């Protein structure tokens, strides 16, 4: 990310790294301050290398005087990671990671604001589409994994509903994203033996049962 015409309020040097960030030597970068919303208060700090390329942007998004967003770049200007304190409590709860080419590949989120990551998102670096989301819904490890097709549409989900570390629910979705069918493992065999289908309007459809243990429904009602 290059600066073509600086319109910043002040230029100083700073050597200390913010405590929330991995160690980074900012003493070799030029610090440039900006009032992005023109309210008379500095809210953005850009750190520029000797090639006139921004390597770090720090922002105060809510105007409380505290930095709550950090955008990191490689020395040649490609994005490398973004860290966000979205609830402004002083702790990062949303991070996005990029590969060496500046393509988004992963995001980690603390969705319940308990200072622990509970959602991991994985992206196709070429298309940017979501590929998979892993969810820790109970604070005991990943118990839901949602899979997306090449177009970024939700396709299916696997879940461990009883917390024994094994998948016991299989969910498929309509192209609209609404639930199409759930398969349940009610006998702990490691495969579904009961199925519940849903109509696209959300109402229940047929229910299927595997009565001979072959993993396929042979009775519907």
Domain positions in the chain are 1-87
- The model's pLDDT over 137-150, given as tens digits with 9 standing for 90+, comes to 999 999 999 999 99
Q: pLDDT band at residue 15, thresholds of 50, 70 and 90?
A: very low
- What tokens does 30 get? 């030029």
Q: What CA–CA distances, in Å, run from 5 to 20, 22, 52, 175, 217?
A: 30, 30, 11, 46, 67
Q: Is the pLDDT score of 21 beyond 50?
A: no
Q: pLDDT band at residue 24, thresholds of 50, 70 and 90?
A: low
pLDDT at 102: 97
- The model's pLDDT over 31-55, given as tens digits with 9 standing for 90+, comes to 999 999 999 999 999 999 999 999 9
Q: Is the pLDDT score of 110 beyond 90?
A: yes
Q: What is the DSSP letter of 11?
A: E
Q: Specify the range with the lowest mean pLDDT, choosing from 5-19, 99-113, 130-144.
A: 5-19
- What tokens does 59 get? 């922002």
Rounded Cα gap, residues 126 and 152, in angstroms? 12
Contacts of 214 (CB under 8 A, 6+ apart): none
- What tokens does 43 get? 């809210």
- What tokens does 118 get? 């509970």
């Amino acid at each position: 990310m290059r600066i073509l015409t600086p319109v910043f309020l002040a230029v100083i040097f700073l050597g200390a790294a913010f405590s929330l960030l991995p160690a980074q030597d900012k003493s070799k970068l030029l610090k440039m301050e900006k009032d992005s919303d023109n309210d008379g208060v500095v809210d953005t700090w850009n750190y520029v290398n000797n090639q006139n390329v921004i390597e770090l942007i720090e922002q105060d998004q809510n105007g409380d005087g505290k930095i709550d967003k950090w955008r990191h770049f490689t020395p040649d200007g490609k994005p490398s990671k973004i860290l966000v304190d979205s609830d402004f409590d002083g702790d990062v709860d949303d991070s996005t990671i990029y590969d060496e080419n500046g393509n988004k590949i992963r995001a980690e989120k603390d969705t319940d604001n308990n200072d622990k990551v509970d959602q991991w998102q994985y992206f196709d670096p070429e298309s940017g589409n979501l590929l998979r989301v892993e969810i820790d819904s109970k604070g005991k490890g990943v118990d839901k994994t949602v899979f997306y097709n090449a177009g970024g549409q939700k396709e299916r989900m696997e879940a461990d509903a009883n917390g024994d570390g094994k998948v016991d629910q299989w969910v498929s979705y309509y192209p609209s994203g609404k639930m199409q069918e759930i398969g349940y493992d009610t006998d702990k065999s490691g495969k579904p033996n009961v199925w519940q289908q849903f109509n696209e309007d959300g109402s229940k459809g047929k229910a299927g049962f595997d009565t001979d243990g072959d993993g396929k429904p042979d009775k519907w009602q």
